[in-house]
Amino acid sequence: MKPEKEYDVVLIPGDGIGPEISEAAVAVLEATGVPIRWREALAGEAAWQRVGHPLPEETLASIHEAGVALKGPLLAPKQTGRVTIQHGDAEVIYPSVNNALRRELEVFANVRPVRSFPGVPSPFPAMDVVIIREVTEDTYIGWEEMKGPDEAWAIKRITRKASERIFRFAFEYARCRGRRRVTAGHKANVLNLTDGLFLQCGRGLAAEFPDVPFDDCMIDALCLQLVKHPEALDVLVLPNQYGDIVSDLCAGVAGSLGLAPGANYGERVAFFEASHGAAPDIVGQGVANPIALILSGAMLLGHLGEMEAERRIWQAVATVLQEARWLTPDLGGHARTADLTRAIITALGRAEGVAGSA
């Protein structure tokens, strides 16, 4: 019998290990019983090879229409990495395909929960941090210029509008998920104007959320704290570039890049992707860890309002990691992607109590 309601979700398998881990994530999402109609779309190297552009118009249109997508990692176009999108007569040039995707879809908040799991070796078993990264501006707008043969400049753009929007998002996120605290990361003692404005916006918004404790930390001191006492930190709000760097740092501290999921939220569109890249060094070996994309898929289900299915996936992953029988090599085991996926699907059938989610 046809289910009453099917969700339309765009699936971009992606490049490198993308197709391997996408297959795993789709299998796990389907095993929850939530009815999804997948619409496959191309981007990255795969799109470049098939249709001659890394971000085809049809892919953007499809995501705009469905409003939600699950995306594997993408490889940048080989020569420049830059991506040109045509808007009528005007050309917009983006520094990378991921940057183009985020900005064309007008997503502004990249959310990356990073937590340690029992069973995965980490010096910090109580780590549970959520990184909320602003993704529309900062140095990643890609405005760079040569000022002669031996001098290159990059523009760092911070606006009140984007900064207030990301802090509002972070405070609302922290409030509705019962998180302990919001911390802004910055370097306002050196970058008085740009990071200074970012921090000022954080302080301003904090006054509107008196029930959510707020503080701030210099980005270098924040990194030190992340590798010494990450359990003391909770929700971190960061401008684009610091957010990018700190995400990988946190994933490493928690045990593996292969465990860190991610979501990108805009007003109309949300898409979900692992924090890691296409891992070209292990492509085709069948040993990629699919968990980051599986948990990104769980976040997608939560976004669709399927909280119970989201919770069950987090619990199944936690159970399989704790049992430590089916761990991929990045987690210190010998299992293959397919073994780990199968174990998660089996655990999903048993998942009932709450193991915690982002």
- Which residues does the annotation mark as catalytic? 140, 187, 220, 244
Q: Which residue has the tokens 């968990």?
A: 291
Q: Does 257 bind ligand NAD (CB under 6 A)?
A: yes
Would you give the DSSP letter of residue 169? H
Q: Which is nearer to ligand NAD, 20 or 216 (CB)?
A: 20
Q: Which residue has the tokens 């983006």?
A: 94
Per-residue x/- mask for ligand NAD, residues 59 to 78, rule CB under 6 A? Answer: --------------xxxx--
- Choosing from 67, 113, 230, 277, the residue that interacts with ligand NAD (CB under 6 A) is 277
Residues in the chain: 358
Kindly state the smallest distance separating residue 144's Cβ from ligand NAD, in Å.
17
Three-state SS letters, 72-140: CCCCCCCCCCCEEEEECCEEEEECCHHHHHHHHCCEEEEEEEEECCCCCCCCCCCCEEEEEEECCCEHH
Q: Which stretch binds ligand NAD (CB under 6 A): 84-92, 159-167, 205-213, 285-293?
A: 285-293
Q: For residue 158, how far is the Cα from the chain centroid?
A: 21
Q: Which stretch binds ligand NAD (CB under 6 A): 111-119, 145-153, 182-190, 274-282?
A: 274-282
Kindly state the smallest distance separating residue 136's Cβ from ligand NAD, in Å.
16
Kindly state the smallest distance separating residue 248's Cβ from ligand NAD, in Å.
8
Of residues 76-95, which lie at the interface with ligand NAD (CB under 6 A)? 76
Q: How far apart are CA 261 and CA 41, in angstroms?
A: 20
User: Which tokens belong to 91?
Assistant: 């050309």
Kindly state the smallest distance separating residue 46's Cβ from ligand NAD, in Å.
12
Kindly state the smallest distance separating residue 42's Cβ from ligand NAD, in Å.
14
Which amino acid would we find at residue 263? Answer: A
Q: Does 330 bind ligand NAD (CB under 6 A)?
A: yes
Q: Which residues of 50-60 are buried (b: 16+ CB within 10 A; e: fewer)?
A: eeebbbbeebb
Positions that interact with ligand NAD (CB under 6 A): 17, 73-76, 98, 257-258, 273, 276-282, 288-289, 292, 330
